[in-house]
A and B are shown apart, each in its own frame.
Chain A
């Protein structure tokens, strides 16, 4: 289902996009007891909003493997929704995961692709196919049948309850403005709870939370 609001070019001549706040705030409000897996440019912004053990930052991890990691959690815990906030550059690295996800038919899997057309973490150079790649079409070709695309905050916020209430696998393409997040570390200096520990420590913490 396409966003029904017409694409309107802004006064500055840019295509309409959500801000990161507009994208993340409704998710934080509606996620409930879902697992949320983040990577790249939304890792810190999500970590500023959420401080629970059901969050997982795919940081200091394997670049491009966030969607498949989240799929593994979804397959392990079918009773719990798993929301993956993947970057567009990250998604391009493992497009085959779109097929793997539909074949695995995880009903609790909600894959969000944050399309800002840049590699934000390394200075906002454009991704291959910037401005041209259509993740909705790719997802449909991979077998997704629940596909949503949003570039306006109002329609996104209004539709999100239905999106998250639907049966997965669900794919959401969100056009979000690029930010200026720099490289992400894992250390006590990071403000986000889920970045304060090593990947091995946080993986165990989440494992205990999911299996207690």
Chain B
């Protein structure tokens, strides 16, 4: 678990102006804080692909956006992400909550070496969203780090520095609830 309030403070430390996204169970507390916040404008979208195009527009306009979505929504966003953020080389930081991470971690410890395939991707005890998340980020050229707990929150600032210096987006995969 990580504290949503500390994540919000880290965003403010990096002068974030807008958070664009769609809430899920892990991020709902952070969304509540953002909705009440006076410094950062929350832009709620109907589908995650919109978030990347809006973020690109905000960046062109000189703002500092962050996209906050779930890994399922990231997969949905494919061309929206590719055609805006990477094609324009927007130094965007994304917070992507990692649905299915705990189940996947257990599975990996119980079945070392097992891989996503027809059987595991359709197994009821596993969440296929988790099994394809890291491979998808890698395939789409989005470097990432993990945010497992409070101790990892400073990685958000690291991501901003790296995104800015490389003119390329970075992601934090949030594997815990933001409480």
Which residues of A come within 8 Å of B, CB atoms? 56, 60-66, 68-77, 94, 96-97, 99-100, 103-104, 199-200, 203, 206-207, 210-211
Contact = CB atoms under 8 A, between A and B. Distances in A.
Given A65-B79, A97-B46, A203-B56, 9 more contacts: A60-B83, A61-B87, A61-B88, A62-B49, A69-B54, A69-B84, A96-B50, A207-B60, A210-B61
B6 interface: no
Contacts of B155: none
Interface string B81-105: 1111001111000000000000000
A200 B92 CA distance: 13
Interface string B48-87: 0110111111111111010000000000000111111001
Contacts of B56: 69, 72, 203
B119 to A, nearest CB: 34
Given A76-B63, A199-B88, A62 B46 contact: no
18 contacts: A62-B84, A65-B52, A65-B80, A68-B50, A68-B57, A69-B53, A72-B54, A72-B57, A72-B65, A73-B60, A75-B41, A76-B59, A77-B61, A96-B47, A100-B43, A203-B59, A206-B60, A211-B62
B57 A199 contact: no
B162 interface: no
A80 B79 CA distance: 28
Given A76-B61, A207-B59, A61 B84 contact: yes
Interface residues of B, number: 32
B87 A76 contact: no
B46 A99 contact: yes
B43 A76 contact: no
B5 interface: no
A161 B79 CA distance: 36
A104 B65 CA distance: 15
A104 B43 contact: yes
A73 B18 CA distance: 12
B62 A210 contact: yes
A172 B84 CA distance: 25
Nearest to A65: B53
Nearest to B90: A203
A73 B56 CA distance: 8
Most chain B CB within 10 A, of A63, A70, A199, is at A199
A72 B45 contact: no
